[in-house]
Structures are given as structure tokens and as C-alpha cells.
Amino acid sequence: MPRKFERKTKELLGGSPTPALSPALTIGSDRLFGTSAGFPHVVELDLDRVARNPDQPRRQFDEAELKSLASSIERHGLQNPILVRQRPQGDYLLIGGERRVRAHEMLGRKTIFAILTSGDPDEIALIDNIQRVDLNAVEYAAALARLAEKHGYTHEELAAVVGKDRTDVTKLLAILSLPADILEEYAGAHAHAHVSRSVMVEIAAAPDELKAELWARAKEGASVKLVRQAKRDHAQGQGARPAGGRDPARLLRASVTRILRDVAVVREQRSHLAPAERERLRKLRAEIDAILQEP
């Protein structure tokens, strides 16, 4: 078994203050490095001692992104330890870092660096995900709802936990009121990852009879601005306009021109392509091939 960093002995990380140290250092400070008692305690753990969190906010894991992360870890090492909480039975509950754990498993690693943390696991897991790779809209709203239900938080208290405005939290939670078929379709396909959290908030705030139409437009790439315009048109009894108020043929020509311009940029910078970006380009090529093969 590899040597663990858990050797947190009194000689290194405990005991009473030493006169030679700064008065700011208190009992429990690190005598070797001169850090305070609140400095994160990093350990190296066997992966089989890390239990997955059933309430993990993130529900979708992109395979290409995981491979890219694994490649980065193999080349540069783990730059950000996972977050764990020790359990009474002696193992550890994973609080933050599911993607990093999966990447280690891809690499066949048996151990992983971790920071021991305390506090509410749901709050820490949610904040860790927000600070790293954004959760999608439904994952974020569901995580907020679990926190509110678990602790009886008001929207104002919940906003304080995640560092957002109360009105933003209320709008995000409203996403969960969308029709079940929209939520299932959004959560079940990476193809809709381009639909932003802001667009989902706008759809959730729309009249019930308009939500399905706005969701269809969002899947086609409608921006927040276009969704809001469609809502205004509906309120005025005009019905939804073609995207941007332009005719479909003109919109199509503009889109093709933009794609060609972007492809030219990618070609010039292709030496910097990461594995995840190459995979996305392959998917784009397949979609373009499918469009061209249609009658």
C-alpha cells in the first residue's frame, strides 16, 4: 500500500504553539509549513475507500470530457484534490469531484488525493460543482430543491448558501415546474446541452400553452433574446415570429456563412484542439452529413 499523507502527527500538525511562531498561529497549526489550523488537510486515499454520493448534483457525464480530463491528469497530475468527508465506519463519502474520480478510474489509478471537509455534504457538493464545471439547468434546480427540502430553507436562505440573489433562486427552482416530457428530454440527451440555463428559466416563466413551442425553438438554437420576443408576441396575440423576425431562407444563408467562417478559424488553430473538441467536431460532421443526405 502506498505511503499515505494521513501521517498527521503531533510533531508536524498538532500540539501547542511554539514561541518562535507567529502569535496568529493557534493550537493545531502546522509547525512544519507555518499554516493556520484551518488549512485544508490533504490525504491520499485508496479509491475503493471512497463511497459515491447518491445525492451528487451532477447526473450527466460526457465521455469525451472525461477522457480529456483523464489525459490532463496523466500529463500534469491532479491539480485539484477531490472533497471527502470521513464516515464513522472508516471510509469516506465523496462530496465533490465525481469527474476526477472517474478519470482516475479510467487511468487505472488506485489512489487519489483528497481534502477532508466537514459541513453539509449537499451544500458543499453543489458549490464545488458550480465553481468548476457548470451543472446543467435541471441538475442545478434539482440540487437547490433538495437543499431547500432537507433544511427547510426559504428562497432567501438558499440564495445565501449558493451566493445568488433570491429572485434568481426562485427563477431557477421554477425550471422544475416545466412539463415532464421537456425535463426528460433535456436531461436525457447531450444534444441539448447548448440550451442555456437562462433560456430554460425563460421557458419556465412562459404561459403553459407556450412552453412546448419555446422548447422546440430552444432546441433549434433560439437565444434568450428570441425566446423573450416570442413571449412578447404571444402576449400581444401575434404568435411566434420566425427566428429574429427574418425569413427562413435568409436565416439559413446567414447560419451557413457563420459556420464556414468558424470552420476557417478552427482549421487555422487545429494544432490546439483538445480530445474533447475533436470529438465534438466529429459529432458536428456527422450531423452535417445527415443534413446533406436528406432529400
Tell me what the mean pLDDT of segment 219-236 comes to: 88
- Neighbouring CB atoms inside 10 A of 231's CB total 18
Q: Name the strand (E) or helix (H) holding 92.
A: strand 92-96
pTM comes to: 0.49
Confidence check: pLDDT of 19 > 60: no
Which span out of 22-36, 201-215, 228-242 was modeled with the highest average pLDDT? 201-215
Euclidean distance between CA atoms 144 and 192, whole angstroms: 21
Nearest to 219 by CA among 235, 243, 236: 243
Q: Which three cell numbers stand for residue 30?
A: 502546522
- Is the pLDDT score of 137 beyond 50? yes
Highest mean pLDDT among 4-18, 182-196, 239-253: 182-196
**pLDDT value of position 177:** 92
Mean pLDDT, rounded, for 265-293: 83
Which of 203-207, 246-250, 257-261 is the least confident region? Answer: 246-250
Confidence grade of residue 134 (pLDDT, cut at 50, 70, 90): low
- Report the alpha-carbon distance of residue 245 to residue 31 in Å, rounded: 67
Long-range contacts of 250-259 (CB under 8 A, 24+ apart): none
Q: Which residue has the higher pLDDT, 252 or 15?
A: 252
Spatial separation of the C-alpha atoms in residues 4 and 11, rounded to whole Å: 16
Encode pLDDT of 62-101 as tens digits. Answer: 777 788 888 888 888 888 888 888 888 888 888 888 888 9
- Taking the C-alpha atoms of residue 26 and residue 17, their distance in angstroms, rounded to an integer, is 6
Same fold, 44-134 and 136-237: no
Give yes or no for a contact between 97 and 129, defined as CB atoms under 8 angstroms apart: no
Does the pLDDT of residue 202 top 90, yes or no? yes
Structural fold of domain 44-134:
3.90.1530
Query: In terms of CATH architecture, what is 136-237?
Result: Orthogonal Bundle (1.10)
Distance, CA of 196 to CA of 261 (rounded, Å): 23
Of the pLDDT bands very low, low, confident and very high (cuts 50, 70, 90), residue 14 is: very low
With beta carbons less than 8 A apart as the criterion, state whether 51 and 93 touch. yes
Residues 36 and 25: beta-carbon distance below 8 Å: yes
Q: Using one digit for the tens of pLDDT, what is the confidence trace for 113-130?
A: 988 887 676 667 666 655
Number of H helices, E strands in the chain: 13, 5
- In this prediction, what percent of the chain has a pLDDT beyond 90? 14
User: Can you read off the three cell numbers belonging to residue 95?
Assistant: 462530496
- H or E element in which residue 251 lies: helix 248-268
Tell me what pLDDT residue 219 has: 87
Whats the size of the chain, residue-wise? 295
Dump pLDDT digits (tens) for 252-264: 777 777 788 778 7
The reported pLDDT for the residue numbered 295 is 64
Give the model's pLDDT for residue 190: 61
Other CB atoms within 10 Å distance of the CB of residue 202: 22
Q: Which residue has the higher pLDDT, 116 or 5?
A: 116
- Higher confidence at residue 277 or residue 109? 109
The cell numbers describing 107, all together, are 487511468
Residue-range domain boundaries for the chain: 44-134, 136-237
Q: pLDDT confidence of 238, banded at 50, 70, 90?
A: low
CA distance 255 to 249: 10
